[in-house]
Amino acid sequence: MSHVGRPTEPDKRTLRRAYLAVRNRLTADDVREAASALAGRALGLPELAGARTVAAYVSVGSEPGTLALLDALRERGVRVLLPALLPDNDLDWGAYTGEGSLARVQHGGKMALFEPSGERLGPDAVTGADVVLLPGLAVDGRGMRLGRGGGSYDRVLARLESAGARPALVVLLYDSEVVAHVPEEEHDRPVHAVVTPSGVRRFPDPE
């Protein structure tokens, strides 16, 4: 699919609102069932099977659920890193050692997040991950991801690139969020795979 000109940020804002509206209509049962299926699909990924360190995140609200996956990875002996939002929207990291290691943190008027309560490892800790699990709202057939717009993961991806780190980039979504096209900007970078409750789709490794 071709498009003319450079997509504008309002295009992304409109799409974000639309995808969030669909998520907000999900029931607690919908979210719980999808989280269980999502964990099962993700745990079958070869990239996760061989991973020693995985950078992930704790889902909030109607996001595709991640806690079951985080606990299953820990049971495999995987070191799981979780983000902590910094004042400038960059991400620090800390280790996940179970639900008791999470703290609910309110960031101003934004949604409250569950962050690691233990030692902070620094923003560069993510460069040691074998797999980075990314939040998002949609992904298209090229592997281009639509994020939530805060820019935190743009910084993570730029940090990985500048460090020469090449972890597998995997986005976790609902089935309906794998779409024909999302607008991208110059700094956007495709992911390697998307996991949804019904399956896995892989994308060509970007040059």
CATH of 30-201, one of 3.40.50.300, 3.40.50.10420, 3.30.2010.10, 3.30.1370.60: 3.40.50.10420
Residue 193 tokens read as 């795979």
58 assigned binding-site residue: yes
196 assigned binding-site residue: no
Report yes or no on whether pTM surpasses 0.85.
yes
Q: In what order do the strands lie in the sheet with 193-196?
A: 91-95, 79-85, 53-55, 131-134, 168-172, 193-196, 199-202
Domain boundaries, the chain: 30-201
Q: Kindly report the average pLDDT of the chain as a whole number.
A: 89
127 assigned binding-site residue: no
146 assigned binding-site residue: yes
Summarised one tens digit per residue, pLDDT across range 99-133 is 889 999 988 776 788 999 989 999 999 999 999 99
169 assigned binding-site residue: no
13 assigned binding-site residue: yes
136 assigned binding-site residue: no
Quote the pLDDT of residue 185: 80
- Please work out, in degrees rounded to the nearest 5, the angle formed at the alpha carbon of residue 37 by the alpha carbons of 31 and 39: 100
Quote the pLDDT of residue 206: 54
- The pairing of beta strand 138-140 with beta strand 145-146: antiparallel
Quote the pLDDT of residue 12: 86
